[in-house]
Every structure is written in structure tokens, then in C-alpha cells.
Amino acid sequence: MKNGARKYFDIEKIHQNYKLVIADFDRINGLIDCKRDTFDSVIAANMLHAYDHINHHLSSPENALLSWQDMLELNIIVHFGIRPESRGKYDGFIKHTEKRFAALFPSLMEWYERHEHREDNPYKIAAGLYVRVLAHPQLFVEGNHRTGSLIISYYLLIKGRDPFVLTPDNAVEFFNLASDVKFKKEDIGSKFKRAIGWHDELARMRAFLEANVQPFTTDVMPH
């Protein structure tokens, strides 16, 4: 899918896929290097709400990256869904997230605009976005894995590529690669590591995305 009409996330197809992830998560968690909290129906439902939120932006003729307000909204959705009463209980956490995000967002956009201006390979830019969301210092207080995957999937769609969605088949490799970005480098906080741009992780994430994007899409805007 490199040209043609705008695609949207197929919410029902992703929903059915997430049922498989939930059913298989004990096996997945047993194989990954750093064990994770469960992937359950609540997390899946919030992710589906987030994909639905993105779909409304995909109807725009502009091929621009999500605004800072929309990135922040995605992070709130993956935690608390879309019900106002759920968010009201965690107002302090949300304000803390906003403050952290506001401080770190400009550097993310500086990197993105520089590479987008050069018209770099979309998978390279998607990989760079994900690494810069997840690597220290992380863009959000929590939920960087999920929010990062949503941001890059949106970006790939507006570039005419298929999106990345977590599946039973790609979950182990994805979680292990994400853990390498987040935890495993001894020099994770060094200025040198930040300066060279996480070359190893970027290359691996780029190759992973190219091999694992799938057509979880539809030609019709879901209602």
C-alpha cells in the first residue's frame, strides 16, 4: 500500500487480533526477556479507542504528524479510555504527564522535522520516532510502548504504508527489541549515545517494521 486512497484502521480486524494476543499472552510473556504486565481486555479496549481517535485524523487531506495535543490524548486514552469519569480520578497523574511531555516534545519534533525535510525512508523515520518516544528520557510518564506504536502506525499510514499492530506472531520480537531500547544499554544516559542517535536500535527497529507491518486497514472510514 504505497499509493492510492487514504486507508483507515480496521477497528474490528484489530479487535479480533487482540483477542488472539490476550489468549496467547502467557506464552508470549514466557518467551520475552523482560516480563510484562498482562495484556488484557481493558488494555485492548483502550487501544481500540485510540485507533478510533486516530481514524478521525486520517480523514484530513493533510499528511502531517499528529499534533502534540493528539499525541498527549493518545497517551491518556491508552491509560484511561474515553470516559470522563475515569480520567477525573487521575487528574494529578495526567497533569504530571502533560508537564513531562511538554518539556520533551520539542526535541522529538526537531528530530522528526529534520529527517522529514530530507524525505528519509518512512520506515527509518517511524523507527526513529518510536525509539525517541521509548528511550531515556521517555516521552511520557507511562504507556510509551503503546503510545509510540500508535504514533508510528499513524505516520506509516499517512505515508501510504501498512501500519504496525501487535500480534501473537510479532509480539516476542517487538517486546525484546523495545526492552533493548529502554533498558539494556550500559551507556543509556550518556551524551554520546544520545548524540549518535541509537544507531543499532534504529536499524533493528526499521528492519522489524518493514518485515512486520500488516494491512489492518480498510478503505472506508469506520463509524
Per-residue model confidence as pLDDT tens digits over 183-218: 655 444 554 454 445 678 889 999 999 999 999 999
Residue 98 lies in a domain: yes
- Band the pLDDT of 4: cuts 50, 70, 90: low
- Cell digits for 88? 477525573
Highest mean pLDDT among 42-46, 53-57, 87-91: 42-46
pTM to 2 decimal places: 0.90
Question: 86 phi and psi, to 5 degrees?
Answer: -70, -40
Residue 3 lies in a domain: no
- Cell digits for 178? 523495545
How many domains are contained in the chain?
A: 1
The CA distance from 52 to 46, in Å, is 10
**Domain membership of residue 180 as a residue range:** 8-218
The CA distance from 204 to 37, in Å, is 24
Residue 115 lies in a domain: yes
CATH number where 103 lies? 1.10.3290
Res 199: pLDDT = 74
